[in-house]
Amino acid sequence: MFTDLLSQACMKNESKNLDFSPRPAEYLTQGDSFDEENNMLQEGSESKALFSVIGMTCSACAGSVEKAIKRLPGIKEAAVDVLKNRALVIFNPSFVNEKTIRETIEDTGFKATLLEEVANEKYSTRVCRIRIIGMACTSCSSDVESVLKVIPGVQRARVALATEEAEVQCDYNLLSCNDILQAIYDTGFEAIIINTGEHRNKIELKVDGVCNENSIRMIVSSLEGIQGVQDINVEPELHKVSVSYLADITGPRNFIRVIESTGSGQFKATIFPEKGGKEPQNQEEIKQCYTSLLWSLVFSIPVFLTSMVFMYIPVVKDGLDIKVVNMLSIGEALRWLLSTPVQFIIGRRFYTGAYKALRNGSPNMDVLIALGTNAAYFYSVYSILRAASSPDFKSTDFFETSSMLISFILLGKYLEVLAKGKTCQAIARLMELAPETATLLTFDDEGNVTKEEEIDSQLIQKNDVIKIIPGEKVACDGVVIWGESYINESMITGESIPVAKRKDDLVIGGTVNDNGVLHIKATKVRSETTLSQIVRLVESAQMAKAPVQKFADHISKFFVPLVVGLSFSTWLAWFLAGELSVYPKSWIPPSMDSFQLALQFGISVMVIACPCALGLATPTAVMVGTGVGASQGVLIKGGQALESAHKVTCIVFDKTGTLTIGKPVVVNTRLLKNLVLQEFYELVAAAEVNSEHPLAKAIVEYAKRFREEEESNFWPDVKEFESITGHGVKAVVRNREVLVGNKSLMLQKNIAIPINAENFLDETEGLAQTGILVSIDHELVGVIAISDPVKPGAKEVISILSSMKIKSILVTGDNWGTARAVAKEVGISCVIAEAKPELKAEKVEELQASNSVVAMVGDGINDSPALVAADVGMAIGAGTDIAIEAADIVLMKSNLEDVITAIDLSQHTFRRIRLNYIWALAYNLIAIPIAAGALFPSTGICLPPWVAGAAMAASSLTVVCCSLLLKNYRRPKKLDTLEMQEITVQ
C-alpha cells in the first residue's frame, strides 16, 4: 500500500489535495523519514521523469535533493520520496533534460539513475461535481447513483440528497462531462455542471464589443499568442471567453490587457459574473418553492373555505347550494374549477417526479403524493359528474383534500429548503472569507513603490505584490516581503490568538490583518489557495455517505411499494367492513358513505408516510457536523470518518511533530576543553551553516545569540566542507578541522570519547534530547544537547483521553530512550520505538485484530501507512501533503486538543443521527396506523388527508431542524479550562 503513496498523491484530483500554510520546519531524529514535497501538479505540455536516488537516509537528504533540482531552469515540480529512494520530476524539456537533472542530483552527493521517462500525457482522471435538480427522496439519489456507477469510465460516483449534488470520478479519455449529464437526464432529472475537475486554472471573462465571427477570431488569436495559455473556449451568445492557463506563467490581467488592446480598443473585458455556488442556487430554489406555494394557496384557500367554513354560514351556504345542472351545485363547480390548476399546473412537479421514478423502477415520495391527490381529485370529478347527470344523486367531493394536500406539501418543501440552505452555510461562510478587491503594488527598478491600484481579487496573479492594511483581509496565499503585523487566522484554523507575521512568513488568504501594514508576494491564487482547498474538502466531505445511511437506503427500496400496499389494504378493509356492516352506520359522517370513508383512510395512509425523513436523517447531520468541524479547525472528510471517530477506543500517536512541536532547539552545552562559548559556536555554526539538516539549523540559530546584530548573518569562511550522510558534517574553519555529528561519526574518525562525554550523552538520552558531539583538530571539545519540546498541553490531552476510556499508545521511529522519556512526560505507558513505517501500520492492524477501534495521529510520510490502516487517520495540519491526503481528519491548528474535539463532535453528530432515525421511524410507525383509522372506533379521531399531508411535511422539517441544532455545538468545557501555554522556539 505504502509503495504507491507518492504516485497516488501526485496523480489524485486537485480537490483532494491540501497544503496548509504556514508550515513549520520539521525536526527529525534517527528513524523518522519523510519529505515535504508539494504534490499539486498542473496540467500542461511538460515532460516527467522518475529517478532512483541512492544514499538518502532522512528528510534532510530528500530536502537537499529537492532544492537542488528546483534550482534548475524549467523545473515545474519535484517530489522526492526518501523511503522509496525515488524522485519524480516534472520539467520543461526546452530548458532542461534528464541528464542535467541526474547530474544535479549526483552533485548533492547521491547516486542517481533514470528509471523511466513518464509518457507526456494529460491527467485523465478527474472528479466532476454536478448539481441535480428534482430529487425528492433517498430513492431518487440512490437511483441516480446506481445509473452513474455503471457508465463505462466512471470509477466512483456519489449522489447526496441533502446537497442535491453528484461527485463523479471518471476517466476523461473514456467519457466527457456531457456523457455524465446525459445519463442523469435519462434518469429524469435536470443536471448542471458545477466543476469539471480539471487540473488547471481557468478564468471566465465577459467581453463587450464582440459583434461578429471576425471579432472572435481576433480575440482568440491574440490570446493564443500569450505564453502559458492552454485552452480557449468562446460562447458568443453570452459574450463569454473561458481561458485555461498555467498560473506560474500568466494570469487573468494579462488576458484582459491583451483583449482590450486588440482591435483598436473596441473590446472591453471584465470578470464574468459568477452565478455558481450553493448560496445563489439555494436562493433560486427557495424562490421557486415560494412562488409555487403562493399560487397554490391562492387557489386552495377558497376551495377550503367553500368546503369547510362557508357551509356553516347560512346565507353563503344557500348561495353555494344553488343547483346549476341537475344536482350539481355552484359550490361544487367552483371547487372543481379552483382545484384543477392546483392539481395539474402547480402539482405538475409531482406527476413529473412520479413518472421518472416509475420509469426507473424506484418509486419515491412523488408517487405517493400523485396517487393520493389523484384518488381524491378524480373521485371528486366522478362524483360531481354523476350529480350533474342525475336528478337525485347527491355528490360528495374531496377537492379540498387534493388542493390543500398539495399546498401543505409545498409549504413543507419550502420550509425544508430554507432549513437545508442553512446546513450549507459553512461553505458559504468560507467562500465569503475571500475579499472582493485587493491593492496591487507596482515597483520601479530600485524597489520603490510607484503605483497602488485597487483590483478585483480574482485578477491577482502569482508573484504580484499585494498591500494589506490593518483590518483588511488577505486576498491570497503569499509570503511577507515587508512589514510586521499580527494576523487573525481564526476563520481558517479556528485559533483565536493572532499570529505574529514578519518578513518571509507565510500568510493565508481569507485571514484578517490586525494592525501593521504588510506587503505580501502572491504564491497561490484562485483555486490553489488554502481557502479554496478547504472549501473543496468540506464539499467533498458533505457528499460522502456515512455507513449508517445504508440503513435508510435499504428501507427506501421497499418503503413506497409497502405504503401503497398498506393504503390499498386500508381502503379495502374499511370498504368491506362498511359493506358487510361490521361497524355501525353511525360511524359514517353524514356527508359520506362507506366507500368515501374508506377512501379517506386510504389516502391519508398514502400521504402521511414519509421516506424523506429517513433519507435526510444522516446527510443533513453530516453536513452540519462537517461544517461545524471546519469552523473549529477540524476538517472531517465525510460521514465515514464521523461514524468511525465516535467509536474510537485506542489512539496511536507519532512522536516527532505530533506529541512534540517538531522543531529542535539547543537546550544545553557541555564544554570539555577550556574554550570561550562564543568561539566554540562560531566554529560549529560555520561548519553547520551549509547543512540542510534540521539539527544543523537549530545549532546555527542558537549560535546567533552570541553575535552582534549587525554581523549575525556572516560566519567564518569554510573550506573543504563535506556532508557525511546520516552522521554529520566535516569542514575546515579558520584552518582548524571541525567535525560535528553523532557518536558513530567520532568512532569512525578514531576520535576518543571521554567518560564524562559518555555520561552526558546518557543523560541527554534519558531526557529525550539528542547529543551532538563536536571535535576540533581531532579532539572532542564539547557536546551540544538538542531537544524537540513536547507540545503544550500534550500531557493534559492524554489525561483527558484516559478519562474518556480511550487508551493512548506512542509509536515512533526514534530511539527507545527518547521515546520512553517523551512518553513518561506526557503520561503514556505503552511505547513502541525504532518503528519503521510498515511496523506502525502493523501495530495498528494488531490493535484492530484485538477488537479495538483505532485512531492514528501523525504528520509525516512515514505515518501514512498507519494513517491509511487506522479506522480513523488524523493528520496534523502542519504535516506533509501525503499524510494529510491519507488521513480522514485534518487538525488544522496542529493542536492535540483537537483530537478530543474531533471525537466529541463525532459523538454529538451521531447522537443527532440516531435521534433523527428514532423520530423518522417512530413517526411512520405511529402516524400510519392513526391515519389508517386505528383510533377511529374508540375515539372517533380520524386524520383528513390534507392534515396527514401537513404531518408528513412537518416530519421532514423536524429532522432537518434537529440536525441544525448541531450548529450550537461547543467543544468540551474541560478543553476551555486546559491551559495551553505557548512555547517560544528560539
Contacts of 250 (CB under 8 A, 6+ apart): 226, 227, 228, 229, 461
Phi and psi of 665, rounded to 5°?
-135, 150
Residue labelled with grid coordinates 522556539: 985
Nine cell digits for residue 645: 471517530
Closest CA to 868 of 856, 859, 853, 879: 856
Q: What is the CA angle 562-565-570, rounded to 5?
A: 125
3-state DSSP helix/strand/coil % of the chain, to nearest 5: 50, 20, 30
What is the rounded CA–CA span in Å between residue 426 and residue 517?
A: 30
Put residue 709 in one of left, alpha, beta given phi > 0 → left and psi -120 to 50 → alpha: alpha
Cα 103 to chain centroid, rounded: 41
Q: Which DSSP letter does residue 772 get?
A: E
Length of the chain, in residues: 986
Q: What Cα–Cα distance (Å) separates residue 328 from each residue in 320, 324, 377, 398, 593?
A: 10, 6, 16, 15, 18
- 3-state secondary structure string across 211-245: CCHHHHHHHHHHHHCCCCEEEEEEEHHHCEEEEEE
Q: Is the dihedral of CA 333, 334, 339, 341 positive or negative?
A: positive
What is the rounded CA–CA span in Å between residue 937 and residue 583?
A: 8
Q: Which DSSP letter does residue 307 get?
A: I
Nine cell digits for residue 218: 481576433
Closest CA to 365 of 924, 789, 900, 775: 924
Beta pairing partners, 78: 89
Is the Cβ–Cβ distance between 130 and 102 less than 8 Å? Answer: no
Q: Alpha helices, DSSP H only, in 889-972?
A: 897-931, 936-939, 945-964
What is the rounded CA–CA span in Å between residue 278 and residue 719?
A: 62
Is the Cβ–Cβ distance between 434 and 531 less than 8 Å? Answer: yes
Closest CA to 397 of 354, 340, 347, 325: 340
| Residue 654 appears among annotated catalytic residues | yes
What is the rounded CA–CA span in Å between residue 468 and residue 453?
A: 12
DSSP-derived 3-state class of residue 879: coil
Is the Cβ–Cβ distance between 456 and 436 less than 8 Å? Answer: yes
What is the rounded CA–CA span in Å between residue 548 and residue 546?
A: 5
Q: What Cα–Cα distance (Å) separates residue 646 from each residue in 487, 836, 899, 968?
A: 34, 29, 11, 19
Q: Alpha helices, DSSP H only, in 262-364?
A: 278-304, 314-320, 330-341, 348-359
Closest CA to 732 of 720, 744, 722, 743: 720
In the set 35, 366, 505, 654, the catalytic residue is 654
What is the rounded CA–CA span in Å between residue 572 and residue 674?
A: 106
Which residues are catalytic, by number? 654
